[in-house]
Amino acid sequence: MQELTINAIGAQGDGLARFADGKPAFVPLTLPGETILAKMDGARGEIAEILKASAERVDPVCKHFGHCGGCAMQHWAAGPYLGWKAEQVRVQLSMEGLETQILPTFAAPPASRRRVALHARKAKGGAKLGFKERRSWNLVPIEECPVTDPRLIAALPALARLAEPFLEHPKSAPTLHVTLTGTGLDIDVTGVERKSGGLSADARMRAAMAAGEGDFARVTLAGETVYGARQPLVKLGPAIVALPPGSFLQAVPAAERAMVDFAVAESQGAARIADLYCGVGTFTFRLAEIGAVHAAEMSPPAIAALKAAIGPTPGLKPINAEARDLVKRPVLSPELAKTDVVVIDPPRAGAAEQTVEIAKSKVAKVVSISCNPATFAKDARALVDAGFRLEKVLPVDQFVWSPHIELVGVFTR
């Protein structure tokens, strides 16, 4: 056993201490100022006993906490927890030599996540569903989840019955990607063994029967329809969009609204807006109430869904939407010649190639949404070097009680 004093929380949410020789030690589920006994395995360990607890320690709200790998910070009081998230943004910016106003972290409410990825394993008499254990491939069967919309939790028994036919092959390790939409649950299943011929006709029939009994909207296998009762629909601003199978959607509606509201407020007065990495139109339709929008996205099905929603939606300025690989073929600076505002929401890898073109353009304002403060900071450095000023950043706690941080930043010339 090793006695340690926790000095800080690292970027992955683990408590950070120092051994006697000054080398770092990482112990999850600890808080700054705590003295603990830890069972160490190299630089990483587990709590054996808390000798001195932090005044910021609170009782976790979920009985699976500490075992389930989904949440890392239910034991931390809300104020310092949200402050830590803002501090992580500041640290990443400082590593690129940047400073700005960091607004108070927007806190998404518990019991609001509309998207979950549930892993399925064989169990006696059927299938069990859950999340992976901390630092393990083992499964924690989930009976409750205080971060998730209760309607998803209520559907767990029906989802387990749906999962069972997808375990037909011994090498299959299905994951059910479940999205709560306005017309019911949309489930895309991945991880099913394909080399042996994929799902049999009998398994497909049993999956369709289970989906019908569960009153699901749609079930797809890696995008291929297995069962379809209703088109999964979501409301994005004034538009109603039919989701393509397996498409990206922000995990929490309240966090989505906060980010969209922020981007819309910063885009007021713009006549022409570019919405890059637009997805199915999370920002597009609200922006099109302000000015004409050029929307670009890598996924052709997402663009098709966006286009299909334009016609039935009244009150929009013109939207030009195109499927375009913004890494291999970014929107070039001459194409942005008459653009007033660029709104960009890239994947975790950032938008280095597209940022180069924005930096070369005459665009006056950029609103950048990111799920990775480190790549945001790198792209921000490129924009600042080109003459932009990072005005402010809004951290967004979309994935409650996790170390994950979303943010929206505003750049002006």
What does the pLDDT read at residue 124? 87
**Does residue 119 share a domain with residue 103?**
no
**Does residue 300 share a domain with residue 165?**
no
**Does residue 202 share a domain with residue 226?**
yes
pLDDT digits (tens, 9 = 90+) for 285-343: 999 999 999 999 999 999 999 999 999 999 999 999 999 999 999 999 999 999 999 99
**Does residue 407 share a domain with residue 266?**
yes
State which residues form the domain around 40: 2-57
Using the structure block, give the residue that is written with the tokens 């559907």. 155
CA proximity to 151, closest of 212, 211, 216, 62: 216
Q: Is residue 262 part of a domain?
A: yes
How many folded domains does the chain comprise?
3
**Does residue 343 share a domain with residue 259?**
yes
Contacts 24+ apart (CB under 8 A), 302-306: 302/244, 302/247, 302/248, 302/278, 304/244, 305/241, 305/242, 305/243, 305/244, 305/247, 305/280, 305/281, 306/241, 306/278, 306/279, 306/280, 306/281
Dist CA 192 CA 213 (whole Å): 22
**Does residue 279 share a domain with residue 259?**
yes
**Does residue 301 share a domain with residue 396?**
yes
Specify the CATH number for the domain of residue 147: 2.40.50.1070
**Does residue 331 share a domain with residue 275?**
yes
Q: Is residue 67 part of a domain?
A: no
User: In the listed set 203, 233, 263, which residue is the last one of a domain according to the structure?
Assistant: 233
The two beta strands, 272-276 and 233-236, are unpaired
**Does residue 168 share a domain with residue 39?**
no
What does the pLDDT read at residue 136? 82
Query: Any catalytic annotation for residue 371?
Result: yes
**Does residue 176 share a domain with residue 267?**
no
What does the pLDDT read at residue 195? 77
**Does residue 147 share a domain with residue 100?**
no
Q: Is residue 364 part of a domain?
A: yes
What does the pLDDT read at residue 194? 83
Specify the CATH number for the domain of residue 376: 3.40.50.150
Q: Cα 329–257–267 angle (5° rounding)? A: 55
241 pairs with which residues across the strands? 234
Specify the CATH number for the domain of residue 11: 2.40.50.140
Say if residues 74 and 402 touch (Cβ distance below 8 Å): no
Q: Is residue 402 part of a domain?
A: yes
SS3 of the chain: CEEEECCEECCCCCEEEECCCCCEEEECCCCCCCEEEEEEECCEEEEEEEEECCCCECCCCCCCECCECCCCCCCECHHHHHHHHHHHHHHHHHHCCCCCEECCCEECCCCCECEEEEEEEEECCEEEEEEEECCCCCEEECCCCCCECHHHHHCHHHHHHHHHHHHCCCCCCCEEEEEEECCEEEEEEECCCCCCCCCCHHHHHHHHHHHHHCCCCEEEECCEEEEECCCCEEEECCEEEECCCCCCCCCCHHHHHHHHHHHHHHCCCCCEEEEECCCCCCCHHHHCCCCEEEEEECCHHHHHHHHHHHCCCCCCCCEEEEECCCCCCCCCHHHHCCCCEEEECCCCCCCHHHHHHHHHCCCCEEEEEECCHHHHHHHHHHHHHCCCEEEEEEEEECCCCCCCCEEEEEEEC
pTM of the model: 0.94
Q: Is residue 203 part of a domain?
A: yes
What does the pLDDT read at residue 196? 74
Q: Is residue 239 part of a domain?
A: no
Q: Is residue 241 part of a domain?
A: no
Active-site residue, from 62, 145, 278, 371:
371
Burial of residue 125 (CB within 10 Å: 0-12, 13-18, 19+) is: exposed
User: In the listed set 182, 204, 233, which residue is the last one of a domain according to the structure?
Assistant: 233
What does the pLDDT read at residue 24? 95
What does the pLDDT read at residue 266? 98
* Mean per-residue pLDDT pooled into runs of 10, the chain (413 residues): 95 94 96 96 95 98 94 97 98 98 97 97 91 88 94 97 94 95 97 84 96 98 94 98 95 98 98 98 98 98 98 97 98 97 97 98 98 98 98 98 97 96
Q: Is residue 295 part of a domain?
A: yes
**Does residue 281 share a domain with residue 224?**
no
